[in-house]
Structure 1
Amino acid sequence: MVKIQPFEVEQWMDRLETTPGVLNIAETCAASVSIDDLMAMSTDKAAPSPLSLSTKMTYGEIKGSTRLRQNVAALFNSSALPETTPLGPDNILITQGAIAANFLLLYTLIGPGDHVICVYPTYQQLYSVPESLGAQVSLWKLKPENNYVPDPADLPGLLQPNTKMIIINNPNNPTGSTTPTPTLSSIVSFARSHSLLLLSDEVYHPLYHSYPAPPPSILAFDYPLAIATGSMSKAFALAGLRIGWIASHNPALLAAASAARDYTTISVSQLDDAVAAYALSPAVLPGLLERNMALARTNLALLDAFVERYAAVVEWVRPTGGTTAFIKFKRKGGEAVDDAKFVMEVLGEVNVLFMPGRACFGKGEDFGGFVRIGYVSETKVLEEGLERLGGFVERRLL
């Protein structure tokens, strides 16, 4: 029997996000949109609805519809480097969310006796699943003094004879940090020199709302052992579609993941596929991304003002991408709060929800006092949530 650690952040969310009347600033998706919203954003007003009532509900194309795979490939090509080999639909495998994409890849490529290097903090799946499969995992610790950007100089000290894969997350969850192009290039060079698989979870790409030179996908470097995953959930505000993808220049890696998927989901829903293809179409995508970028920038300014106002007891590294911020709360004397207790006290007293850092993203005592806030919610929700949280801080911490 495979033994896997509880997925803490998901269990905390499942347990608490349906609290009656809760102001949820724990959610990590850009505020969700509807099909009506997508159609209103479209520049092609003559285009039919993405859902056809006459479509027969077969499995559809097993790898995902050609149209959706073309549109996902175009996402990668739009931010590629000049020397990058363009991606086509055959470089894309559609999955049920990025969480399924990551799991399929790890299940397919990692096993007992392997060693994995994984950035930390990050989404727990990226290190707990390899551990459950019998691999040894070394945590590549991100430092606040380096703005939570991974330092390639750490990699030689983490490398072992059985190292098989490096895992990164760009933009990073929970810190919202952006790994810049030169750093990505150095990581690729290291992986190439040791023939290592390189998995980049890019579920928040391309939401680089506060970074002056947005980096490309890891696939822009044409490394044949590089793999990128992404989804419609975070940057594209369509979590309910449950559509994600695996992308690679390497057909063998895609074929291996596709073969493993035959034992699980086989294909994705044709309905989800059709809406995702519509959302990523040239007529809709620019408006959708513009909306989410503007929302992220507006809301980040609100969160920035909150941190500045309560700087005596709050500290952070300001995020530059994605939808999440990693914020440390402390008492006036400097002692970090108990993050899990703090989350529950805030929820109980002012009905505002966010996630505890050590409980959901740490191992041992790491990240005590930190919380993760998802700030790309509806602006009114964030405004009221921060106002209530500010009152709590004034009463309990100052």
Structure 2
Amino acid sequence: MEIAGFGVEEWLNEWETKATVDIAQSTIASMTMNEALNLDGQGGATFYEKLDAAKMNYGWIEGSPAFKREVAKLYQHVDVDGILQTNGATGANHLALYALIKPGDHVIAEYPSYQQLYDIPKSLGAEVDFWHIRESADWYPDIEELKRLIRPDTTMICLNNANNPTGTILDRAFLQQVVDLASSVGAYVLVDEVYYPLTHSEQFASIVDLYDKGIATNSLSKTYSMPGIRVGWTASNLSIANRFRKYRDYTVICCGVFNDMMAVHILAHRDQVLARNRRLVTENLAIYKDWIAAEPKASVVLPEGVSTSFPKLEIPADQTEAFCIKILQEKGVLLVPGNRFDMPGHVRLGYCAPKATLERGLSLLSDALHDV
């Protein structure tokens, strides 16, 4: 099979280790092991007691019962047997697409979004139509366009909610319209849900709580600030999960004993993690808003309490990547150029870096913009 290069990942692979001021990442400032272990108020003593007694074998192949129970609590209508542990959300997306898409299928993908959601189906031989998001509509797609795109033979609609890179949330009412159209032709709806909104979260609904043929993918990497353990999951009905099980055996055996234990620990203390991250999002978003208001060479559709944003910069669109290389080499600031999402003139800016990093990065970005 042939597949396009993964734009954002290729960029980060080349440049992220060279940065001193990283405001490109879409994770909410990652926790240290010390910070994560202290969530139990005992300095991790209970966790280490369990870890010391654990055998470093393959562990629970699909994720431990404790892991499945904690993940199932995130949804209203998913049984523990509908949860499968994966290697991050990237592993979850790959599993779902690998299991359900075949040559000749018709797939509709939100665009731009996380590149897996349209280029993996293409690589599997599917016909992929883009459902465009538009800055003029606050990065929402047009439901009327979806009505024109959907066909009786449409197999799947792929969404990223919240969207990477823009941070836009498709609310419950809008998703219900998507579900109504999908159900009219029996299409699956796959939604990468790694960005849970930490403000106005009542507007958010998981696709698996709206649609029996919905598939949610998620991980602990973004909202839960633990990308280092590489644990994600699929959530679906039992029939879909059983189909995934066969394909999963070919892609991942397990995610590791330690990783599973740490995932359970984080999820069991999710209220503390989300409180920490809600404060960080709220405080940093205020800093970001002030910077946007004062910076004439930048504008943005502000995200709804998620950790990624996609500002438009007053630079020549065909020089977006050159600008990002220049600011990295001269000032140490890392951004992701928008052309890596097929949207030149913009950059992905992760405003949920540590506060000092964000403030320094925005200041240096202003300097670079005024040097153009």
TM bucket (normalised to shorter chain) is: over 0.9
Q: Aligned partners of 2:32, 2:328: CA distance in 1, in Å?
A: 28
Answering whether residue 54 of structure 2 is matched by residue 63 of structure 1, we say: no
2:71 equivalent in structure 1 = 72
Residues 267-314 of structure 1 show CA distances to partners (whole Å, capped at 9, x for unaligned) of 110110000001101xx2111001111111111222222211113x21
2:325 equivalent in structure 1 = 344
Selected match of 1:234 from 199, 216, 222: 222
Answering whether residue 231 of structure 2 is matched by residue 243 of structure 1, we say: yes
What code does the residue aligned with 2:198 have?
Answer: H
Selected match of 2:367 from 387, 391, 396: 391
Q: When you count helix as a share of all residues, which structure comes out higher?
A: 2
Answering whether residue 142 of structure 2 is matched by residue 166 of structure 1, we say: no
What code does the residue aligned with 2:336 have?
Answer: M
**SS of match in other structure, 2:286:** helix
Once the two structures are TM-superposed, the CA of residue 149 in structure 1 deviates from its matched residue by 2.1
State the TM-score, normalizing by the size of structure 2: 0.95
What does 1:7-22 correspond to in 2, within 5 Å?
A: 7-19=6-18, 22=20
- Bigger CA drift: 370-379 or 154-163? 154-163
What code does the residue aligned with 1:373 have?
Answer: L
What does 1:1-398 correspond to in 2, within 5 Å?
A: 2-19=1-18, 22-42=20-40, 48-49=46-47, 52-77=51-76, 86-205=77-196, 208-211=197-200, 213-221=202-210, 223-248=211-236, 250-281=237-268, 284-311=269-296, 313-331=297-315, 336=317, 338-358=319-339, 360-362=340-342, 367-396=343-372
Once the two structures are TM-superposed, the CA of residue 393 in structure 1 deviates from its matched residue by 1.8
**SS of match in other structure, 1:263:** helix
**SS of match in other structure, 2:130:** strand
Gapped regions of structure 1 (runs ≥ 5): 78-85
Residues 222-257 of structure 1 show CA distances to partners (whole Å, capped at 9, x for unaligned) of x22110000000000000111000001x21211121
1:263–1:213 distance in 2 versus 1, CA, 3 Å:
closer
Once the two structures are TM-superposed, the CA of residue 261 in structure 1 deviates from its matched residue by 1.5
Aligned length: 371
- Bigger CA drift: 383-392 or 126-135? 383-392
What code does the residue aligned with 2:22 have?
Answer: N
Contact 1:210 1:319 in 2 (8 A): no
**SS of match in other structure, 1:188:** helix
Once the two structures are TM-superposed, the CA of residue 38 in structure 1 deviates from its matched residue by 2.4
Residues 62-100 of structure 1 show CA distances to partners (whole Å, capped at 9, x for unaligned) of 1110000100011223xxxxxxxx323112001110000
Gapped regions of structure 2 (runs ≥ 5): none
**SS of match in other structure, 2:203:** coil
Contact 1:177 1:321 in 2 (8 A): no
Contact 1:202 1:229 in 2 (8 A): yes
1:81 equivalent in structure 2 = none
